[in-house]
A = this chain, B = another copy of it.
Amino acid sequence: MARVGVLLLNLGGPERIKDVGPFLYNLFSDPEIIRLPVRAFQKPLAWLISLLRSSKSQEAYRSIGGGSPLRRITEQQARELQSYLRNIGIDATTYVAMRYWHPFTESAVADMKADGVSEVVVLPLYPHFSISTSGSSFRELKRLKDSDDEFAELSIRCIRSWFDHPAYVSSMAELIKKQILACDLPQESHVFFTAHGVPKSYVEEAGDPYQDQIQNCSLLIIDQLENSLGFTNSFSLAYQSRVGPEEWLKPYTEEVLEKLGKSGVKELVVVPISFVSEHIETLQEIDIEYKEIAQKNGIVNFKRVPALDIYPLFIEGLADLVSSCLNGEGISLEEASKLPERVKLYPQEKWQWGWNNSSEVWNGRVAMIVFLCFLMELIIGGGPLHQIGLL
């Protein structure tokens, strides 16, 4: 049997306070995260955003112990999945490939080559597909494949999304159920799904299936939950973590929290639906920021459902996905990395200057940003990069 490498894709996160700036720079340098009309604007803008957001973000990481736990948890998931696969007779080794921080995708690919892997299963640790998460990682992997003959020779099969996998849905329902039953009045408690948001244009203009998958996923979980509990809870869904001036998927988490509080909800079971591992968005945003908003608005009992991390049924589900993929259910990397037809990332077409779409707005904004960058660089002299931890 071929030596199987299971490549687990995730975002990555800064592990030290001084890594926060460079991490943000990597994140915002990705055209799948911020879509700009012209490639040349990407890095200056990434630099400026990371500069501006760095100290607030550092503060957030400080409040959760000085760094992201994402690498640690992802490596635990990798170990558990590897053990499970080997126990069921699949001779697989798991590898962690982060998109914006160490260990980077390149390192995982180098490791697989060194280990003599001949068959690769690519499993994003994002249940729902988005251009900006799994999509970006698949495309990164595709770039590596295109520039590396040795890697290109391997058989690579991908799982694009798995939000409807029974083990995942059941794991979520089980964890939510525990929190509901721990409420004073379980039947009165409100189930509140909060997913990481994406710009509205991703879905409406670019055809990102993310919102559909999140909505369907919530309904699957709610169904399963009702079957298991024997009663029905009210529930809602909102999107968190918005950055920048653009409109993102609505409703926004903070606004729904206010409304729920004002409408008299006292016990809230908060479900971080798009996250399978604890990280800054659960530990800081939900547990600190959103909790505060909820409590200010009269919600007395704010119960956050833990992320799946290494929940055994969840790991079993991941193993089942790998196993199905090895049995022919996966798709090729080419197919997985394909953008929805309507996406226009700048490398794909010549940009039309002039009064078309929103180009003028962007031209103006970006020119101003670039001008400010150079001005600051000149004024500060040694380069303000040290402010974001690059120096």
**Are A47 and B110 in touch, CB under 8 angstroms?**
no
- Please determine whether B382 and A385 come into contact, CB atoms closer than 8 angstroms: no
List which A125-166 residues lie within 8 A (CB) of chain B: none
Tell yes or no: A306 within 8 A of B by CB: no
Q: In the assembly, how many copies of this chain are there?
A: 2
Is there an interface contact between A381 and B374, defined as CB atoms closer than 8 Å? yes
Q: Is the CB of A103 within 8 A of B106?
A: no
Say yes or no: B72 contacts A111, CB within 8 Å.
yes
Q: Mark A363-391, 1 if CB is under 8 A from B, else 0.
A: 00000000001100110011101000011
User: Is residue A43 contacting chain B, with contact meaning CB distance below 8 A?
Assistant: yes
Report, as a range, how many residues of chain A touch the other chain.
20 to 34
Minimal beta-carbon separation of A65 from chain B (angstroms): 7
- Asked if A102 is at the interface of the complex by the 8 Å CB criterion, the answer is yes
- Taken together as a complex, chains A and B put the C-alpha atoms of A110 and B16 apart, in Å, by 10
Q: Are B114 and A69 in contact (CB under 8 A)?
A: yes
Whole-angstrom CA separation of A16 from B108 in the bound complex: 11
Query: What's the least CB distance linking A176 to chain B, in Å?
Result: 25
Q: For the complex, is A63 an interface residue (Cβ under 8 Å from B)?
A: no
Is A197 an interface residue when CB atoms closer than 8 A count as contact? no
In whole angstroms, how far apart are the Cα atoms of A348 and B114 in the complex? 45
Interchain CB contact under 8 A, B106 and A67: yes
Report the separation of the CA atoms of residues A47 and B382 in the bound assembly, to the nearest whole angstrom.
11
Q: A67's contact among B110, B374, B377, by CB below 8 Å, is which?
A: B110
A298 within 8 Å of B by Cβ? no
- Residues from chain B with a CB closer than 8 A to the CB of A391 are 43, 47, 385, 390
Selected contact of A383 from candidates B16, B67, B110, B377, CB within 8 Å = B377
Please tell me if the beta carbons of A65 and B377 are within 8 angstroms of each other in the complex. no
Q: How far is the CA of A126 from the CA of B95 in the complex (A)?
A: 27
* A279 CB–B CB distance under 8 Å: no
A173 to chain B, nearest CB (A): 27
A110 in complex: contacting residue of B66, B106, B373, B378, CB < 8 Å: B66
- Once the chains are docked, how many angstroms separate the CA of A107 from the CA of B69? 9
Q: Is A71 an interface residue (CB 8 A)?
A: yes
Q: How far is the CA of A385 from the CA of B114 in the complex (A)?
A: 32
In the bound complex, how far is the Cα of B326 from the Cα of A279, in angstroms? Answer: 35
Is A104 in contact with chain B by the CB < 8 A criterion? yes
